[in-house]
Structure 1
Amino acid sequence: MEYQERPTAETSRWPLPDSGQRTVIPPAVLASVRDHPLCSGCMPHGVGFYPQASGHRMARQQPADDLLIYCVSGAGQVTYGGLSQPVEAGELLLLPAGLAHRYYANPQRPWSIYWVHLGGPEVQGYFDEIAGQHQPGIRKVRVGVHSRLAEDFQALMAAATSAQPEHLIYAANLLRSLLAYAALMRRQHQVRHATLDVARVNSYLQTAMDQRLSLDTLIAATSDLSRYHFIREYKRQTGQTPMQAFLRIKVSHACYLLDITDQSVAAIALQLGYDDPYYFSRLFKKVMRVSPQQYRQERGKN
């Protein structure tokens, strides 16, 4: 299926500062390479960068081409189909042709965005790969802020400024590379935020044996996961909850101290963050099935 000529990309009229860029490729120039096998499936129509775009806004009732927006700082808002969503740094907006939408910069924290209007029969396949699923409509995808992705946009902008056919072929394949890299970063982002480094968590627990550590403090120090996902992932990998593991670490150290020292139960409890030795003894018995005193007696320590 060859690339079909489309109308000129409909960009916003936001006043472009010196540090911004906006390039729209005329339809006649696109037509000069529309039959070329290296770019007929996915072609940029326009590309740009709007830094700290205060006052930037756009509304399209029936956009003629697809649009990809990458927010690298600040924030914005997108509205479509009666829904409104915030857009934050590190997020991509995938806006397919034909679907009405509005978007604008956050008045207090105006976004900085890279964008590319694009078209061709391969675009939706790339959009599905970036989103991780086939789903009609407008999609928002978190990939994180990556200097490499920004550099890809910069390279695409440089290539798209030339009307020479060889430069447009190069620009089309830079665009393919950019889309594939965005899909890779989405997957990497999900992997980093969907798994838990249990060794890191356990190492932190070992260093906090003298504390009455809260679960929220543990999560903040060792993971980006939510409370629910942190507990679920830790239990999936270890068979116990994080706080159960913390108690076992404390009790294991208490057993060591009971074995090699003559310290009182109260002194050992205090070292493990418990002011109340009776409360500590109950926790110890819950794990070991005997009290600290019985544990010591059974091992010949008076």
Structure 2
Amino acid sequence: MDRWANYVPPARSLRDTSLTCLGAGEQAGHLTATGRRTLPVHALVVVTSGRGRYRDVERDVDVVAPAWFWLFPGRWHAYGPGPDGWSEHWVLFDGVAARGYAAHTAWDPPVHAGGLPAEELAACFEGLRAATAGAGLRDQLVAASLVHRLVGATVSARAAAGEPTTSAVQAVIDAAAEPLSVAQRAARAGVSPDRLRAEVRAETGLTPHELVLRTRLATAQQLLAGSDLDVGAVAARVGYDDPAYFSRLFARRVGAPPSEFRRQQHRSVAPTRTG
């Protein structure tokens, strides 16, 4: 692995609306451990070979490749390889999107045992090396998109390594159109209401009510775009007896009334000409 490191001044327009990449690099070998330090921005460190240690105010853990860990602004940390060294890939970033990812538990757990797909990791850092070497806005846009791609890769890797969707969560999804209370949904799933809330939160980052609502609206969008059912029929199909209430809820959550969403997204299949 070539040792390289590039740093980029923040693109304020990207930072204030989405995310800006501030630097990236790769290095391997007998690296010097970081002392106790605090960064003003977010960072992701991916370890692809070797082992070492990570410490912060809440944990002191071994890091054994493949693994990755997140560094958070304003929180002290220290990390580094053991005596045999390691290979690391790192990226610095900042912006409002980072807070959005945090709200969706993208950083949990902060230290993760598991790897990213080798081809995906190589492609991201090859792109970051080129993009962070440039000075233009186009380069900064490319770098930001690659950081988003890396975050997505960690989320996908976590999901692939985790347990399949629990039966309790699936029970909520399957019965989303039915007018049930949380207690009734828990009884259907064979768990207590507290257990249901905990499983749904751990699996999706949502409450049971939010999961029901998102499932209903996603199904409604599919029906509006892919069928000729009228709005009242769509509302009834996803659990709403009052089409007017459904329309208001849909408009507020999706950003357009059902009729407008259908106009934007519905595509009919043209009849096949014969003869």
Report the TM-score when normalising by structure 1.
0.49
Could you say what secondary structure the match of 1:44 adopts?
strand
Displacement of 1:122 in angstroms is 1.3
Deviates further, 96-105 or 149-158: 149-158
2:24 counterpart of 1:41: no
Distance 2:52 2:129 in 1: 22
Distance 1:89 1:105 in 2: 10
Contact 1:94 1:127 in 2 (8 A): no
Match of 1:113 in 2: 88
Q: 1:66 to 1:87 in 2, by over 3 A?
A: same
2:59 counterpart of 1:93: no
Distance 1:143 1:125 in 2: 23
Distance 1:150 1:179 in 2: 14
Kindly report which structure 2 residues correspond to 1:156-175, keeping only aligned pairs within 5 A, or say none: 156-175=128-147
Match of 1:63 in 2: 39
2:97 counterpart of 1:122: yes
Q: 1:121 to 1:61 in 2, by over 3 A?
A: same
Contact 1:75 1:88 in 2 (8 A): yes
Please point out which of 144, 154, 158 is paired with 2:115: 144
Displacement of 1:143 in angstroms is 3.5
Match of 1:189 in 2: 161
Displacement of 1:154 in angstroms is 2.1
Structure 1 residue ranges, 4+ long, deviating more than 3 angstroms after superposition: 127-133
Displacement of 1:49 in angstroms is 0.3
Q: 1:180 to 1:75 in 2, by over 3 A?
A: same
Contact 1:42 1:123 in 2 (8 A): yes
Q: 1:87 to 1:150 in 2, by over 3 A?
A: farther
Report the TM-score when normalising by structure 2.
0.54
Q: 1:189 to 1:41 in 2, by over 3 A?
A: same
Q: 1:153 to 1:126 in 2, by over 3 A?
A: farther
Unaligned runs of 5+ in 2: 167-275
Distance 1:121 1:60 in 2: 26
Contact 1:149 1:182 in 2 (8 A): no
Paired-residue identity, %: 23
Contact 1:144 1:185 in 2 (8 A): yes
Unaligned runs of 5+ in 1: 1-17, 195-302
Contact 2:46 2:69 in 1 (8 A): yes
Displacement of 1:153 in angstroms is 2.0
Look up the equivalent residue of 2:13 and give its one-letter code: D
Look up the equivalent residue of 2:135 and give its one-letter code: A
Q: 1:105 to 1:114 in 2, by over 3 A?
A: same
Distance 1:130 1:70 in 2: 18
Contact 1:142 1:186 in 2 (8 A): no
Contact 1:89 1:145 in 2 (8 A): no
Contact 1:76 1:106 in 2 (8 A): yes
Displacement of 1:150 in angstroms is 3.0
Q: 1:68 to 1:165 in 2, by over 3 A?
A: same
Displacement of 1:126 in angstroms is 2.8
Distance 1:43 1:101 in 2: 22
Displacement of 1:157 in angstroms is 2.0
Contact 1:130 1:183 in 2 (8 A): no
Please point out which of 2, 24, 33 is paired with 2:7: 24
CA shift digits 1:242-263 (9 cap, x unpaired): xxxxxxxxxxxxxxxxxxxxxx
Look up the equivalent residue of 1:153 and give its one-letter code: F
2:28 counterpart of 1:51: yes
CA shift digits 1:170-229 (9 cap, x unpaired): 11111111211221111112148x9xxxxxxxxxxxxxxxxxxxxxxxxxxxxxxxxxxx
Distance 1:63 1:191 in 2: 33
Match of 1:223 in 2: none
Specify the structure having the higher radius of gyration (Cα). 1
The root-mean-square deviation of aligned C-alpha atoms, in Å, is 2.8
